């Protein structure tokens, strides 16, 4: 009996969960709506003390700024969830095409599958190499677009965070 360690399965080319991002966006929208309703329910005219009424109005302004930021952040996350879903779908198509050509997608790289593939045929090998090159270009473009979208999301969310903190 020969013992061997199986090769690890290839890594997915696109990491991320669009459904979780969408759920987070929905939770932010729901939280913002709840805070907005609580602020509406908080009536400064019903407060007897002028000092406390002034404080209630200030809390309402701060809460309004917070809920606006939460809503904008939710929109950013929902948009990114769509971009991520597109990237996952496109990468899955690249993986399927690579697999049908005898290639393996492992993370961001495409390489020939290991093992014997049949009779040596220079034309088939040349065709496989060209397919690998083209698929690698497509996968690289998908990953570059996704990386650009992630950087934009990170920067936009950092801007929102700074705006809330600096109020």
Q: What are 134-163's pLDDT values in tens digits? A: 999 999 999 999 999 999 999 999 999 999
Q: Closest Cα partner for 146 from 11, 23, 12, 16?
A: 16
Give 109's strand partners: 106
Mean model confidence pLDDT for the chain: 90
Residues 6 or more apart whose Cβ sits within 8 Å of residue 5: none
Percent helix, strand, coil in the chain, to 5, is: 75, 5, 20
Distance CA 114, CA 119 (A): 14
Where along the chain do its domains lie? 18-165
Give 105's strand partners: 110
């Amino acid at each position: 009996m020969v013992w061997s360690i199986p090769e690890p399965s290839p890594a997915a080319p696109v990491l991320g969960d669009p459904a979780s991002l969408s759920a987070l966006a929905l939770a932010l929208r729901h939280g913002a709506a709840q805070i907005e309703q609580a602020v509406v329910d908080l009536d400064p005219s019903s407060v007897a003390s002028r000092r406390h009424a002034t404080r209630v109005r200030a809390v309402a302004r701060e809460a309004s700024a917070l809920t606006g930021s939460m809503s904008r952040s939710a929109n950013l996350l929902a948009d990114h969830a769509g971009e991520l879903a597109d990237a996952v779908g496109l990468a899955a198509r690249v993986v399927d095409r690579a697999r049908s050509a005898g290639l393996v997608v492992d993370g961001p790289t495409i390489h020939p599958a290991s093992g014997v593939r049949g009779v040596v045929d220079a034309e088939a090998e040349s065709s496989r190499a060209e397919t690998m090159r083209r698929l690698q270009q497509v996968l690289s473009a998908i990953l570059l677009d996704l990386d650009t979208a992630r950087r934009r999301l990170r920067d936009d969310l950092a801007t929102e965070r700074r705006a809330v903190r600096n109020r």
